Amino acid sequence: MRKELEMNPTSKYEFTIIVPFFNERENIQRLEAKLSDYLKKSICKSVCVLFVNDGSIDGGDILVQEACSRHDDFHYISLVKNTGLSGALKAGIDHCESPYVGYIDADLQTDPEDFDLLLAERENYQLVLGIRAERKDSFVKRVSSRIANSFRRMMTKDGVSDTGCPLKVMQSSYARKIPLFNGMHRFLPALIQMVGGTVLEIPVRHYPRTAGKAKYNLRNRLVGPFKDCFAFRWMKKRYIDYKVVSGNLNQKQS
């Protein structure tokens, strides 16, 4: 007799918040407090958190496991090695079974409470993403981000002003369709549009980083996005989408 698989706990929720993290030990306790507080008052009827440990080596993964033991609505997966933000985010998406999935960075430069601003439009758009209002980053970081965003818009024609904002809500059925490649996280609006979805931007709050170290520098904020834009253009021309018109997989056998 075949052993039944255990149900994925995220299937019990309407909305799953994915939190990819790599060496964010100094932020974990504050992250636990902010997320647990938000879960109590979200406009969604049921919300859970899925931490994705992207190969951390600073002990932050232990703190996350302890936080999950204290909260029934907290869950985690750990990757074998560091894959980068795109890999960790896609792993989270692939392991979520809730109708809606969100994303926030572990550095808490955005506020979980602002998810409600995005969730208000979750049924109308396949991706709702934040725009960082009054960014609290350094001058160099703001300028490099502005240059990268301008080049991305020119290359992708996605019409989005700020793909780097780490606060997003997606319909899971569309999120699962997007292909994984290096830099995927920079092209979520264009990718959702590519698979037939629509996108909306909404201003959200932004804060300075107060703990931990940023994972990006001037080089990977400019050189990486430029290279990834050409990879996206190459991939888009070769992307294949299919729709099944009929079949008998769902027919009951007598």
The reported pLDDT for the residue numbered 4 is 44
Helices (H), the chain: 28-39, 60-70, 85-94, 115-119, 139-156, 172-175, 188-194, 218-238
Query: Looking at per-residue confidence, does 244 or 64 come out higher?
Result: 64
Backbone dihedral angles phi then psi of residue 197, each to the nearest 5 degrees:
-95, 170
Tell me the mean pLDDT in the region 39-50: 96
In the chain, where the domains are located: 9-237
Q: Rounded to whole angstroms, what are the CA distances from 246 to 13, 60, 110?
A: 30, 48, 44
CB–CB of 87/1 below 8 Å?
Answer: no
106 SS3 class: coil
pLDDT, residue 187, reads 86
pLDDT of residue 65: 97
pLDDT tier at 238, thresholds 50, 70, 90: confident
- Please compute the mean of the pLDDT values over residues 41-58 and round it to a whole number: 96
Give pLDDT, residue 236: 77
Please provide the CATH number assigned to the domain covering 9-237. 3.90.550.10
Q: Is pLDDT above 90 for 172? A: yes
- Residue 14 scores a pLDDT above 80: yes
Residue 50 pLDDT grade (very low, low, confident, very high; cuts 50, 70, 90)? very high
Query: 94-128: per-residue pLDDT in tens?
Result: 999 999 999 999 999 999 999 999 999 999 999 99
pLDDT attached to residue 152: 66
In the 8-state DSSP scheme, what is residue 211?
Answer: S
Percent of the chain with pLDDT over 90: 58
Dihedral of CA atoms 53, 89, 50, 202 in degrees, nearest 10, equals: 130
Maximum distance among all alpha carbons in the chain?
68
Q: Above 60 in pLDDT, residue 199?
A: yes
Mean pLDDT of 77-95: 94
CA 46 to mean position of chain CA atoms:
18
**Backbone angles phi and psi of 188, in degrees to 5:** -55, -45
CB count in 10 Å sphere of residue 83: 19
Q: Starting at the edge strand that comes first in sequence, how are the strands of the sheet with 167-171 ordered? A: 74-78, 47-53, 15-21, 100-104, 167-171, 127-132, 199-204
